[in-house]
Amino acid sequence: MDIKLNYINGEWVPAISGKTRDIINPANEEVIAKTAEGGTDDVSLAIAAAKEAFYGKGEWRRKNVQERSDIILKIADAMEARREELAITDTLDNGKPLREAYGDIDDAIHCFRYYAGMIKAPYGGAYDVNDGFGQMHSYTVHEPVGVCGMITPWNYPLLMAVWKIAPALSAGNSIVFKPSSTTPLSAVILFEILDQVGIPKGTVNLVMGSGGTVGQEIAESMDVDMVTFTGSTEVGQEIARAAVGNLKKVGLELGGKSPNIIFADADFEGAVEWAMIGIFFNQGEVCSAGSRIIIEESLKDKFVARLAERANAMTLGNGMFDPDMGPLVSKDHMEKVLNYIETAKAEGAHCVCGGYRYTEGDCAKGYFVRPTIFDNCTQDTTIVKEEVFGPVVTIQTFKTEEEAITLANDTIYGLAGAVFTTDGARALRVVKEIRAGITWINCYNPTFNEAPWGGYKMSGYGRELGIHGLEEYQEIKQININLTPGKLGWYEER
């Protein structure tokens, strides 16, 4: 079996240690690839290459924006040409149904095109000022940050990479990228593309390996100007601590425990379908998942019965055959989810459906967990407080709008949330009260390149996507011009 190599300074290279890692298909435990297992010495080489490309030669950041934009568009075209291969790779690696993987790849392609256009838009400020020094003209320019370290999770292997790489590269930065060691394969294809489109040597670097070594080294390095991380809140805290050494910029897209508030006047079938998408899409391995359903008491029994009926009807299987839901990403993760389920049962929550590993037929060797609904949950139930990151949803009830809002916000997280009601004024009132960065009214999960993505509270800081997602990878410089040279204004008069 070929070994997928790291990409450092324009070359495909094995890990210096010679170590490799087996990559497993979670649907059947087969080894589908071997990857180079990088260490701190590999990261150091990648950072040195990125630094030289940015601060030494500076070719990429100095290209005019039309040239940069043209190259970014070539990346999107090359991804489109390899769309099927990319989608199949993410399905084999992550487990997700193939149609969902195609959706991710299309979003990733659009993301490159979006930023290829955006960097050509004029922006920055211009000001005429007179503060006593005489007449001045002041204007701002946006410049790349420098060497950007990037660390991503396994739930959207390609898309989470592209949400970072597309804006950072468009802005003119150098990159050292580390994918999740569980799902690195689509990143290897992306870097094959980056290798072929004319990006100067050393500008983009891929180092695969474990978070504790490769990721930690990126976060700590004094030569990395920014670290941008998507992953769990616990590791996000470690990244923030590690980044203190040189006060590098930090972007954190972390976990969530998002409320899905459903009022009795909501469109019933619509709310059921969106609640299904909210929690069972992508096996529930979604940071913004609507994992806490908070429902008006009078509707609860009818709603839970219908939701359970829909959940029980879901097909599970190998993502390549497009079931409703694929396996969880790894054995460790499946065990973590099953532990949470056992804890909930022990704490007295009522398991309405699912709640076990599914091993029938072709699923025997895979990491499948039936879609699971827990009723009778309270704010003290562990799975109400902690992110499960699987197909597990809790049900809680409310009688008043205020109670719904209090329950929704009683969490350390603040990533997302939704409200279902046909009362427009109430929808707007409640959604404004949810302390989260991403909210929906009468839908759950739609995401756009145009709109900024990110969390409040312990769901992180910074934003991806939209114009804010570009600005994360830029510094702002003010340039001040003296329009009356030779005069010193008030200083002269002292």
Query: Exposed/middle/buried for 490, CB within 10 Å: 0-12, 13-18, 19+?
Result: exposed
Residue among 191, 222, 231 nearest 207 (CA): 191
Instruction: Please give the helix or strand (H or E) that residue 493 lies within, else none.
Output: helix 490-493
Total site size for ligand NAD, rule CB under 6 A: 31
Residue among 164, 176, 185, 168 nearest 42 (CA): 176
For residues 71 and 338, which CB has a smaller minimum distance to ligand NAD in the complex? Answer: 338
Q: Pick the piece of the chain touching ligand NAD (CB under 6 A) from 148-156, 276-284, 373-381, 467-475.
A: 148-156
**Does residue 250 touch ligand NAD according to CB under 6 A?**
no
Q: Of the candidates 6, 35, 94, 155, which one interacts with ligand NAD according to CB under 6 A?
A: 155
**Does residue 238 touch ligand NAD according to CB under 6 A?**
yes
Task: State the minimum distance, in angstroms, from the CB of residue 318 to ligand NAD.
Answer: 22
For residues 220 and 296, which CB has a smaller minimum distance to ligand NAD in the complex? Answer: 220
Catalytic residue among 37, 253, 387, 464: 253
Residue 106: helix, strand or coil by DSSP? Answer: helix
**Does residue 253 touch ligand NAD according to CB under 6 A?**
yes
Please give the backbone phi and psi of residue 309, each rounded to the nearest 5 degrees, phi first: -60, -45
Active-site residue, 111 included: no
The residues that bridge with 251 in the sheet, in sequence order, are 228
Q: Pick the piece of the chain touching ligand NAD (CB under 6 A) from 32-40, 84-92, 147-155, 335-343.
A: 147-155
Cβ–Cβ under 8 Å, residues 227 and 244:
no
**Does residue 154 touch ligand NAD according to CB under 6 A?**
yes
Let me know the angle formed at the C-alpha of 217 by 213 and 222, rounded to the nearest 5 degrees: 170
**Does residue 255 touch ligand NAD according to CB under 6 A?**
yes
237 contacts: CB under 8 Å, gap ≥ 6: none
**Does residue 194 touch ligand NAD according to CB under 6 A?**
no
**Does residue 231 touch ligand NAD according to CB under 6 A?**
yes
In 291-377, the DSSP E strands lie at 292-296, 350-353, 357-358, 368-369, 372-375
The residues that bridge with 260 in the sheet, in sequence order, are 293, 418
Cβ–Cβ under 8 Å, residues 144 and 54:
yes
Task: State the minimum distance, in angstroms, from the CB of residue 66 to ligand NAD.
Answer: 31
> Between 185-196 and 65-81, two packed helices, what is the crossing angle to 10 degrees?
130
Task: State the minimum distance, in angstroms, from the CB of residue 212 to ligand NAD.
Answer: 5
Active-site residue, 253 included: yes
For residues 216 and 396, which CB has a smaller minimum distance to ligand NAD in the complex? Answer: 216
In 90-199, the DSSP E strands lie at 126-130, 135-144, 147-151, 174-178
Task: State the minimum distance, in angstroms, from the CB of residue 343 to ligand NAD.
Answer: 18
> Between 98-118 and 83-94, two packed helices, what is the crossing angle to 10 degrees?
120
Q: Of the candidates 78, 219, 266, 334, which one interacts with ligand NAD according to CB under 6 A?
A: 219
Task: State the minimum distance, in angstroms, from the CB of residue 400 to ligand NAD.
Answer: 30
**Does residue 215 touch ligand NAD according to CB under 6 A?**
yes
Task: State the minimum distance, in angstroms, from the CB of residue 95 to ligand NAD.
Answer: 14
Half-sphere exposure of 350 (CA within 13 A, CB side): 8
Task: State the minimum distance, in angstroms, from the CB of residue 286 to ligand NAD.
Answer: 7
Scanning residues 367 to 426, which ones bind ligand NAD (CB under 6 A)?
387, 389, 415
Q: Pick the piece of the chain touching ligand NAD (CB under 6 A) from 8-16, 18-26, 99-107, 205-213.
A: 205-213
Q: Which two tokens stand for residue 380?
A: 């003290």
**Does residue 283 touch ligand NAD according to CB under 6 A?**
no
Task: State the minimum distance, in angstroms, from the CB of residue 45 to ligand NAD.
Answer: 18
For residues 58 and 452, which CB has a smaller minimum distance to ligand NAD in the complex? Answer: 452
Q: Which H, E and C letters describe 23-75, residue by residue?
A: EECCCCCCEEEEEECCCHHHHHHHHHHHHHHHHHHCHHHHCCHHHHHHHHHHH
Catalytic residue among 287, 353, 363, 377: 287
What span, in angstroms and rounded, lies between the C-alpha atoms of 373 and 162? 33
For residues 254 and 271, which CB has a smaller minimum distance to ligand NAD in the complex? Answer: 254
For residues 218 and 325, which CB has a smaller minimum distance to ligand NAD in the complex? Answer: 218
**Does residue 287 touch ligand NAD according to CB under 6 A?**
yes
Task: State the minimum distance, in angstroms, from the CB of residue 274 to ligand NAD.
Answer: 19
**Does residue 152 touch ligand NAD according to CB under 6 A?**
yes
Strands 204-206, 174-178: parallel, antiparallel or unpaired by DSSP? Answer: parallel
**Does residue 212 touch ligand NAD according to CB under 6 A?**
yes
Residue with tokens 């055959």: 321
Helix count and strand count (H, E) for the chain: 17, 25
For residues 20 and 69, which CB has a smaller minimum distance to ligand NAD in the complex? Answer: 20
Catalytic residues: 253, 287
| Site for ligand NAD, rule CB under 6 A | 151-155, 160, 178, 180-181, 210-212, 215-216, 219, 230-232, 235, 238-239, 253-256, 287, 387, 389, 415, 455, 460
